[in-house]
A and B are shown apart, each in its own frame.
Chain A
Amino acid sequence: MKPLEPVSTTARVVLGISFFVIFFAAWAAVTFGGLVPKIFLADPVTMVREGWYLITNHGFLADIAVTVWRVVGGFILAALIAVPLGLAMGAYKPVEAFFEPFVSFARYLPASAFIPLFILWAGVGEKQKLLVIFVGSVFQIVLMVAVAVGSIRRDLVEAALTLGARDAGIVGRVMVPYAAPQIAEILRLVLGWAWTYVIVAELIGSSSGIGHMIIESQALLATGQMIFGIIVIGVIGLISDFLFKAVNQKLFPWSTI
């Protein structure tokens, strides 16, 4: 093993899977071995059985769907506003000077702390959930997109200028394509954070969703169900990450050559 030495695809897959295997083995060892009482931590087999029970008897798949729709809905709303604004800020310095201080401030406002306020404004329905995701994502995306666009190589802009490009060409045909892979990466990252906001939103005042199920299971001391819910979130995150990466590679083949 040397710094930065590449690893073969097979080795990468094997190594990646081994960690999961070790993780589950350790979990099974401490639970079946009786090191941890069952009330606090269910063993993997119980977890799977209770998960199956949730799906077949409690319509847990519908909960998953509701949560996914909330995340995706709030996230898309945030991206629709944040990406163009971030682009404008990255490209035009006065726009940046106008928005940047406020957005930097707003970024540190914890989305979860807004939940009580949002409940007051929007009730405990879908609007409130979407608002939480939206507030949690929008400022992050704006700032990161602005930085990505602003980091455009000057010499590329100058090359475009000497080729006769005007403002619209510079922004649309140089800055946007230059920053596009980074923007896609930013969206992937922020989508991951959006998952934590939705669960928090569902833990408080909700009647459906994965977060709601986890809170209900706590009342029943069903740690298997709780862990199943958490793992489902992880798996969905993994899938969305994978999809994002695949789409990025398809859309921006030049950035990964």
Chain B
Amino acid sequence: MSGVVVKGVSRTFPGVRGGDPVQALAPVDLSVGEGDFVAILGPSGCGKSTLLRIVAGLDRPTTGTVTLDGKPVTGPGADRGMVFQSYTLFPWLTVVENIEFGPRERGVGAAERRAVAEKLMAQVGLTQFANHYPKQLSGGMQQRAALARALANDPKVLLLDEPFGALDHQTRSLMQELLLSIWETHRKTVLFVTHDIEEAVFMANRVLVMSARPGRFKSEVTIPFAHPRSYKLKTTPDFGRLEEQLTEDIRGETIIAVQAGF
């Protein structure tokens, strides 16, 4: 089976300082077909990052397995690119050097990786900032560079953990359009984690709603809108109905999460 297949994956963290172990993730199943764009939606603390980190190979599941194109995931690798919520550009590298990091680690020649970086910088609109250091960029620019850096390896899967979570509303909208247009050109397999309903509906083909901790998939909604999508979609009645439905689904979970004090 091609794409990402998650089978019976759960994660329990050992208790801190003699406390009880924390089950962050109940056993979950998920499959993301090649070229699909799946959003995972859930209240904060429900185990979204935990699941994504397990798919990335940065964390090990307590039970279950993850496979990519049928091969088990045993650790991080260049076939699964990731963009984090926190700003993780390397501060000692310029934008272009950051984007070249992955290809360089894989031994791609200087000319070839520069060509890749230049193409990606043009796509994310950072050509003029190629020689800037991350600290000289705004948050939105940094995340665009991080996206380009992840794409530079031409990964099979793109894992996005609330990459726009720290951005203001307007910048976030533009970033969504940018990501969507990149997906529409590359058709990469995308697993996108967010707590923002509008964001999930706007970009994804499928939205999976996660329950409060320990996270499980509670419901799944197929988003029927054709690509390419325009930002105007957000104000249509159909869009509004989907948003409303998901709001209902997630509201109960958020209340549980808040009451449990996460």
Q: Which residues of A contact B (CB under 8 A)?
A: 153, 155-156, 158-166, 169, 173-174, 177-178, 180, 252-255, 257
Cβ-defined contact, A174 with B90, below 8 A: yes
Cβ-defined contact, A164 with B105, below 8 A: yes
Q: Across the interface, which residues of B come within 8 angstroms of A153, CB to CB?
A: 88
How many Å lie between the Cα of A251 and that of B77 in the bound state? 31
Q: Across the interface, which residues of A come within 8 angstroms of B159, CB to CB?
A: 162
Cβ-defined contact, B91 with A163, below 8 A: no
CB of B109, distance to nearest CB on chain A (Å): 16
Knowing A155-B84, A257-B133, say if A163 contacts B102 (CB, 8 Å).
Answer: yes
Cβ-defined contact, A164 with B77, below 8 A: yes
Interface residues on B, range: 20 to 34
Cβ-defined contact, A254 with B92, below 8 A: yes
Cβ-defined contact, B105 with A158, below 8 A: no
Cβ-defined contact, B133 with A254, below 8 A: yes
- Write the B73-107 contact mask toward A (1 if CB under 8 angstroms, else 0): 00111101110101010111100000001100110
Closest to B58 in A: A158
Cβ-defined contact, A163 with B135, below 8 A: no
Q: Across the interface, which residues of B come within 8 angstroms of A254, CB to CB?
A: 91-93, 133, 135
19 further contact pairs, Cβ within 8 A, besides A160-B101, A162-B82, A163-B105? A155-B84, A158-B58, A159-B88, A159-B90, A160-B105, A162-B56, A162-B57, A163-B78, A163-B81, A163-B102, A163-B149, A164-B78, A169-B105, A177-B92, A254-B92, A254-B93, A254-B133, A255-B92, A257-B136
Q: Across the interface, which residues of A come within 8 angstroms of B78, CB to CB?
A: 162-164
CB of A153, distance to nearest CB on chain B (Å): 8
How many Å lie between the Cα of A177 and that of B150 in the bound state? 20
Closest to B85 in A: A155
